[in-house]
Amino acid sequence: MANADQGLLLEMATTLPPAFWIAFFAMLGSFVGSFLNVVVYRLPRSCLSINNPRRSFCPSCKTQLSVRDNLPVVGWLMLRGKCRYCGVKYGMRYPLVELLVAILFACAAWRVLFADSGAITLWPAWVTLAHLLLMISVLVPWALIDLDLQYIPDGLTFVPLLLFVPLSANAATYEWGINTALYDPLVLDFLPRWLNSMGSAMLTGLGAMLFLLGAGKLGNLLFRRQAERIGGDSMGWADVKIMLLLGVMLGWPKMIAGFFIAIALGAGVGVIARVTRGALGVPFGPFLAIGALAAMFLAPEFERGLAWYFSMLQRMAG
C-alpha cells in the first residue's frame, strides 16, 4: 500500500468520533470473548476441536446452538441463562467473559489511540493496538484454563510466539508517543533497530523464564515440606513457560513491572486462601495475566511514577 493511501486511510479514521471506535472495539471484544469461551472449554479437552463443530453446543444435551443464541451477552440474557432445548443452566461466566473482553478491548482502543493526542494518525499505534488486543485474547484463556485445571496448553504458550516475535519489532519505533529510557527495550545495539527489538524481546522472555525457574527451585529448598505436599514443585512448569511469552509480549521494563504486580497479588490472595480455606497454593497464571495487562495498560503511569520517585530521592539527597 502506497504511503499516500496509508495517509488517506488514517485521515479517514480521524473523521470518525472516538465514541465510534470505542464502541466498535467493545463490540469486537464481545465476539472475541464468545470465541474465547469456546477456547477455554475445548482446548484442554483433546477429544474436542476448536473449529469442529463450528457452532457452540450445549455441554449437557450436545445440541448445537442457533446464531441468535450465540450473540454475546444478549443471547445469554434472552435465554435467561438456560439451554433452549434441555433447560440446563449455563452459569454467569459465559456472559461475564464476553463483557470483560469487550471492556478490555474498549480500554485498549482508548489507551493506544486516544490517550495520547494524535496517536490515531500513526500506523505504529494501530500495530500496537493489534499487539495489545492479541495479548488480551491470549491472556484471558490462559488465566481461565489455569484457574480451572491448574494447567495451560502449550498451544497457548508457544504458538502465539509466531505472532508476538514479529510484533515486537514495532516496540522499537513507537511507545504511545513517549520516548524515555523506561520504554527502550533494546539491548543489542550492534543489530539493525527492528532486529534489535525482536532479539531483545526474545532475551527478555528467556531471562524471565530462567528467573522464575530459579525462583521455583529456591522455593523448593526453602519450603521443602510444603512443596512435597503439592507434588514436589513450588512453581509449576506452566508458569515457567508462560514467562517466555510474557517477556516477548512486554519487553523487559514492563515485564519487571508486571511480574512484581503478579507476585504482590498472588501472595495476598495466597495468604487469604491459606487462612480461610487451608489451601496450600493458588494458580499463578491468572496473576501473571493481570500483572501483564496492568503493566501494558498503565505503562505511562508507571513511567511518571518512577520519575516522581527518583525526583523525590534526588531532593532528599540534596
Q: Read off the pLDDT of residues 27-54 as tens digits, 9 standing for 90 and up.
A: 999 999 999 998 998 888 766 677 666 7
Residue-wise pLDDT tens digits, 187-203: 677 777 778 778 888 88
Instruction: For 280, list phi and psi in degrees, rounded to 5.
Output: -85, -20
Q: Residue 278, by phi and psi: left (phi above 0), alpha (psi -120 to 50) or beta?
A: left
pLDDT of residue 219: 64
> How would DSSP label each residue in 41-66?
HHTT-TT-BTTBSSS-B-TTT-PBPP
The least confident of 5-19, 122-136, 180-194 is: 180-194
The domain spans of the chain are: 1-121, 123-318
What pLDDT band is residue 291 in, cutting at 50, 70 and 90?
Answer: very high
Q: Which residue has the higher pLDDT, 223 or 85?
A: 85
Residue-wise pLDDT tens digits, 83-104: 888 878 888 899 999 999 999 9
Burial class (CB in 10 A: 0-12, 13-18, 19+), 162: exposed
Q: Taking 50 as the threshold, does the pLDDT of residue 177 lie above it?
A: no
Q: Does the pTM of the predicted model rise above 0.85?
A: no
Query: Which residues fall within 8 angstroms of residue 291, CB to CB, at 6 or more apart?
Result: 257, 258, 259, 260, 261, 262, 263, 265
Secondary structure of residue 98 in the 3-state scheme: helix
Q: Taking 60 as the threshold, does the pLDDT of residue 58 lie above it?
A: yes
Burial class (CB in 10 A: 0-12, 13-18, 19+), 250: buried
Nearest-angstrom CA–CA distance, 53 and 67 = 14
For residues 76 and 94, the answer to whether their CB atoms sit within 8 Å is yes
Of 234, 240, 205, nearest to 217 (Cα)?
234
Q: Taking 50 as the threshold, does the pLDDT of residue 182 lie above it?
A: no
